[in-house]
């Protein structure tokens, strides 16, 4: 017997307890220090325990804190990742209805804002019909229990006809096959109306994610219209009008100039009559790209955001959307400003809003065979973070056979969430080696790991403190 390599612990000396968690089994317990002492004795090869100690050992084995051997555990992890990759319970498709956008966020792209939409792609109804046929084939091939379709862009509400068509057509396809359809939208919220929500509700609309970049003044500075008008008040009013119809997730993108405004935003949201309808709040850092943006022509990967826009920096609001209220997930933010991320999580919880704990992250959907992202032109991508760079397209919905796309698909097939460089890191089951987009962007190698350990250790301490506080209630 050996202690699991996925055990992590946080001492709580004021309680004379230890928070013990296993990131593979997800077991979480508060124990006395003598229990962790028994783990140490198992590590050192001791096998002689009295009856009470043996009962504790059996409980630790049952919850995954003690395993037969490291080799068995590594094999179990490999099988877990394999099963995750081949899982057929859900078919997930993220659709970029358009790369056009009605906002002019400075951190999102640079250059001539007026020119951008002239060159940004927009899916036609003919292309949407082709996509529906492709989805029909996938439904017949995968035979999932759930079909999750997420609309974003660009700004997806700029292409409502395609959204309406796909939601309705796919709902019919799912009904014929006994599959549950779940619809999510990631939008800036400016064009959100009750009519839109009511039109999509019969087809499984389960969650809408909206971005607010700080308090009113900060948001209006960071996310203005293309004519520089503010957008905060209109978005808030739109949320108020639809909040009784659908769960709302609030996201936000922060940098050093905006992060301190988020507590004021949270206070504002808490005072609103729709506060109780907010399903989740989750803020992410803005990532600065290393090159100036090129708004025309081929978009280099190093300056492409999760929604495919040319950019000078990127938020991870879309590519790192995390889990919406329906349970669909996408790739979470692969860069962390540890202190500020934890600060915002704590501030969010203080006001009673649900927010991710920062420990349960992944692994990324790029490792799921039946999760796809579709660009406006019908190109297929392994994840939203690569969308917009055709050189990273793994296929096309029309089934065209192109050697270069097949080669890219084979590259993504070789991706593994268990990277050699990660060694025996305790966080591998929830990290999976990090974000492949970030690895490709930062070091030119999507197979390299991006390490989240510092952020998760910080989040683990917070999780331990909350667990201890709840134990006192």
Compute the distance between CA of residue 15 and CA of residue 326 in angstroms, rounded to an integer.
Answer: 37
The overall average pLDDT reported for the chain is 85
**pLDDT at position 226:** 86
C-alpha triplet 405, 410, 413: angle, nearest 5°: 130
pTM of the model: 0.84
| Predicted confidence band of residue 331 (pLDDT cuts 50, 70, 90) | very low
Tell me which of 3.40.50.2300, 3.90.1720.10, 2.170.120.12, 3.20.20.70 is the CATH number of domain 90-413: 3.20.20.70
The per-residue pLDDT for range 268-302, each reduced to its tens digit, is 999 999 999 999 999 988 765 554 333 322 223 22
Q: Within 160-311, where are the H helices?
A: 160-177, 194-200, 216-222, 232-242, 262-271
Rounded Cα distance between 356 and 333, Å, is 12
Ranges for all domains in the chain classified under CATH 3.20.20.70: 90-413
Element (H, E) at 453: helix 453-471
Pull the structure tokens for residue 104.
Answer: 């002019």
Q: Which two tokens stand for residue 415?
A: 């991706």
**C-alpha span between 429 and 132 (Å, rounded):** 34
Burial tier of 189 (Cβ tally within 10 Å: 0-12, 13-18, 19+)? buried
Q: What average pLDDT does this structure show over 202-222?
A: 97
With beta carbons less than 8 A apart as the criterion, state whether 273 and 240 touch.
yes
Q: How many CB atoms lie within 10 A of CB 302?
A: 15
With 80 as the cut, is the pLDDT of residue 207 above it?
yes
466, two tokens? 């909350």
Q: Is residue 114 pLDDT above 70, yes or no? A: no
- Helix (H) or strand (E) run with residue 70 in it: helix 70-86
**What is the C-alpha to C-alpha distance for residues 53 and 34, in angstroms, rounded to an integer?**
10
Q: Quick check: 327 pLDDT over 60?
A: no
Q: In what order do the strands lie in the sheet with 28-31?
A: 7-12, 17-22, 28-31
Q: How much of the chain, in percent, has pLDDT values that exceed 70?
A: 86
- Which residues does 172 contact at the CB level (< 8 Å), separation at least 6? none
| Gap between the Cα atoms of 318 and 154, Å rounded | 10
Beta strands in 23-77 (DSSP E): 28-31, 66-67
Q: Any idea which residue has 């140490």 for tokens?
A: 40
Between strands 287-288 and 28-31, the pairing is unpaired
Strands 90-96 and 395-396: unpaired
- The confidence score (pLDDT) of residue 413 equals 83
Q: With 70 as the cut, is the pLDDT of residue 173 above it?
A: yes
Q: Which tens digits make up the pLDDT trace of 38-97?
A: 999 999 998 888 888 899 999 999 999 999 999 999 999 999 989 988 999 999 999 999
pLDDT > 90: percent of the chain: 58
pLDDT at residue 394 is higher than 80: yes
């Amino acid at each position: 017997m050996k202690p699991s390599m996925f055990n992590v612990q946080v001492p709580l000396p004021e309680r004379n307890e230890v928070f013990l968690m296993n990131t593979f089994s997800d077991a979480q317990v508060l124990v006395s220090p003598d229990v962790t002492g028994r783990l140490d004795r198992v590590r050192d090869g001791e096998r002689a325990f009295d009856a009470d100690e043996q009962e504790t050992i059996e409980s630790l084995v049952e919850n995954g804190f003690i395993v037969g051997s490291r080799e068995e555990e590594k094999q179990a992890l490999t099988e877990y990742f394999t099963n995750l990759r081949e899982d057929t319970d859900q078919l997930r498709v993220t659709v970029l209805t358009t790369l056009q956008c009605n906002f002019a966020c400075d951190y999102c792209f640079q250059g001539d804002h007026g020119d951008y939409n002239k060159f940004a792609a927009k899916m036609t109804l003919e292309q949407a019909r082709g996509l529906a046929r492709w989805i029909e084939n996938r439904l017949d091939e995968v035979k999932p229990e759930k079909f999750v379709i997420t609309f974003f862009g660009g700004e997806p509400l700029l292409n409502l006809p395609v959204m309406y068509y796909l939601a309705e057509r796919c709902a019919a396809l799912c009904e014929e096959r006994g599959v549950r359809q779940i619809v999510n939208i990631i939008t800036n919220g400016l064009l959100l109306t009750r009519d839109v929500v009511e039109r999509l509700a019969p087809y499984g609309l389960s969650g809408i994610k909206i971005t607010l970049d700080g308090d009113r003044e900060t948001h209006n500075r960071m996310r203005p219209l293309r004519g520089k008008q503010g957008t905060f008040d209109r978005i808030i009013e739109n949320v108020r009008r639809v909040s009784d119809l659908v769960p709302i997730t609030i996201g936000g993108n922060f940098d050093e100039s905006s992060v301190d405004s988020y507590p004021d935003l949270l206070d504002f949201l808490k005072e609103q009559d729709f506060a109780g309808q907010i399903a989740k709040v989750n803020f992410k850092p803005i990532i600065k790209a290393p090159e100036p943006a090129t708004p025309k022509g081929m978009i280099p990967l190093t300056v492409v955001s999760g929604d495919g826009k040319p950019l000078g920096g990127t938020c991870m609001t879309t590519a790192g959307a995390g889990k919406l209220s329906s349970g669909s997930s996408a790739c979470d933010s692969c860069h962390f400003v540890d202190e500020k991320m934890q600060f915002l999580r704590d501030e969010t919880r203080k006001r009673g809003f649900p927010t991710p704990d920062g420990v349960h992250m992944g692994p990324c959907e790029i490792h799921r065979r039946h999760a796809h992202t579709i660009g406006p032109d019908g190109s297929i991508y392994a994840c939203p973070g690569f969308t917009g760079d055709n050189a990273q397209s793994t296929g096309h919905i029309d089934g065209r056979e192109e050697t270069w796309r097949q080669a890219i698909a084979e590259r993504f097939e070789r991706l593994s969430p268990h990277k050699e460089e990660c060694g025996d890191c305790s966080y591998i089951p929830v990290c999976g080696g990090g974000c492949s987009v970030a690895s490709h962007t930062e070091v030119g190698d999507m197979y390299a790991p991006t390490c989240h350990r510092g952020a998760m250790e910080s989040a683990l301490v917070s999780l331990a403190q909350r667990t201890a506080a709840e134990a006192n209630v």
